[in-house]
Structure 1
Amino acid sequence: MLSANRLSTHPPVWLHGSMATAAYDEIADWYETEFLPRQGDTDPLGTTRALRDLLGRPDDAGNGCLEIGCGTGVHAATVRELGWMPIGVDISSRMLRHAAGRMPVVRGDVERLPFGSGTLPAVIAVWVHTDMPAYPAVVREVARVLRPGGLFVHIGTHPCFCGGFADRSDLSAVVVRPGYLDGHWTKASYTDQGIRDKVGATHWPLPALLSMVTDAGLRFERFAEGGQPSPAMFGWAARKA
């Protein structure tokens, strides 16, 4: 069991790699005070439903669940309701200012998680893989810190129906253009009211995304989709042997 007092709510300043420039620093307050309130209490993409279904309840009350790329910590309440102790890690100090009021947090590089090998019972990644161009390395790092039998839950952008190649301005008739097979980063977006036009997104085709998990030695258990009429969310639960 992890102890909350092992993690600081005042993140240290680390400057190696991408730590020096966090794209979300510039939009952290907008994200917390404008973007999130627009979502209200609705769950149109089924994120909360999928998180509850894929993560489930821990074997022991109080077990730690690490959220990588936790942002402002909006999923901490759901994790806590399930019986886990939420812990967050992110590179954006300004996002963590908001998250620190919701759970213990640490500023860190998700490619170099500040946890020992085989120590965590669960890790979640919610709507963040498109922010991480080195997601294969991130998944390997998740596998490293998970203890045997540990669970990795991924929930994020559906790779088949969302991306710079997909025009979702009319959800009743999503247009998929050429470009799905090209792994790329783009700021192309059908709206200027969202996140991607501000920080961009990395696209991974479905086979590449799934192969990251098996290559890291994790075993798939369940999958989830969400959003109507065309899915916008895709998720899974995978376990370490």
Structure 2
Amino acid sequence: MRAAYDEIADWYEHEFLPRTEGDPLGLNRVLTELLGRGDGTCLEIGCGTGVHAAALRGLGWSPVGVDLSAGMLRHARVRLPVALGDAGRLPIRDGCLPAVVALMVHTDMPGYPDVLREAARVLRPGGRLVHVGVHPCFCGGFADRADPAAVVVRPGYLDGHWTKQSWTDQGIRDKVGASHWPLAELLGAFLEAGLVLDGFAEGTGPTPTVLGVRARKP
């Protein structure tokens, strides 16, 4: 499979990431609230350039990453141990991990329900999965976030489609596209994977950009 992020990996590392310093979306707060402190290996699915590794280590975890994009992994290797792989077919044995995280990646994965099933497979009983992604109610091709204090939500939320439509040309969606999962479909995918939902959190701002979900393997 050819990874869309290969073509923008250097732009992502050197231009996009510096604009996100300081946790403007509240992602790290949501991650801390839902994942919490722990030890042992924490797998990051779709780790990209590995920018979240420091936050995971700060919570006591030992992060490892899997990503489909060799271009992104060129930058990630200096931040955490990584493997080139498909999130829908993880190169990891059953029931061995205490924690898995998926951070701002579910819209990049058209087969996200399969990814959740894989995450459930590799988690040990009682292990936790933390998903933090763009908020399905307020982010997508249907949402104009040019004014963060007054987000305009147009028709299209229930369509559940892939699009490159975006309110800005400074982000990622207009470059690689994104899949949209309405809230009910997204949460239903966790249940279909056999996971138990046990925690939620939202990002900062008058209209949150991120939604966090914690689930556990029975």
Task: Note whether the superposition's TM-score is higher than 0.5.
Answer: yes
4+ residue runs over 3 A deviation:
none
Residues in 2 aligned to 1:195 and 1:179: alpha-carbon distance in whole angstroms? 19
Which digits, 9 at most, give the CA deviation of each residue in 1:68-114, with x for residues without a partner?
A: 00000000001011111000000000100110000000000100000
Aligned-partner SS, 2:23: coil
Aligned partner of 1:176: which letter? V
Look up the match of 1:27: 8
TM-score by length of 2: 0.98
Among 104, 123, 143, the alignment partner of 1:127 is 104
Q: CA RMSD in A?
A: 0.8
Where do 5+ consecutive residues of structure 2 fail to align? none
Which has the larger displacement, 221-230 or 180-189? 221-230
For residues 68-217 of structure 1, the aligned pairs below 5 Å read: 68-217=45-194
Structure of higher CA gyration radius: 1
Question: Aligned-pair distance for 1:227?
Answer: 2.9
Deviation at 1:152, TM superposition (A): 0.2
Question: How many angstroms apart in 1 are the aligned matches of 2:149 and 2:53?
Answer: 32
Matched, 1:56 2:36: yes
Aligned residues: 218
Aligned equivalents of 2:148, 2:26: Cα separation in 1: 16
Q: 1:36 aligns with which of 10, 17, 23?
A: 17
Q: What is the rounded CA distance, in whole Å, between the counterparts of 1:231 and 1:83 in structure 2?
A: 27
Q: Which runs of 5+ in 1 are unaligned?
A: 1-17
Q: Does 1:45 align with 2:25?
A: yes
In structure 1, distance between residues paired with 2:164 and 2:179: 9
Which deviations, in whole Å up to 9, do the C-alpha atoms of 1:28-71 show, x marking residues without a partner?
Answer: 0011011111223x11211011111111112xx3x000000000
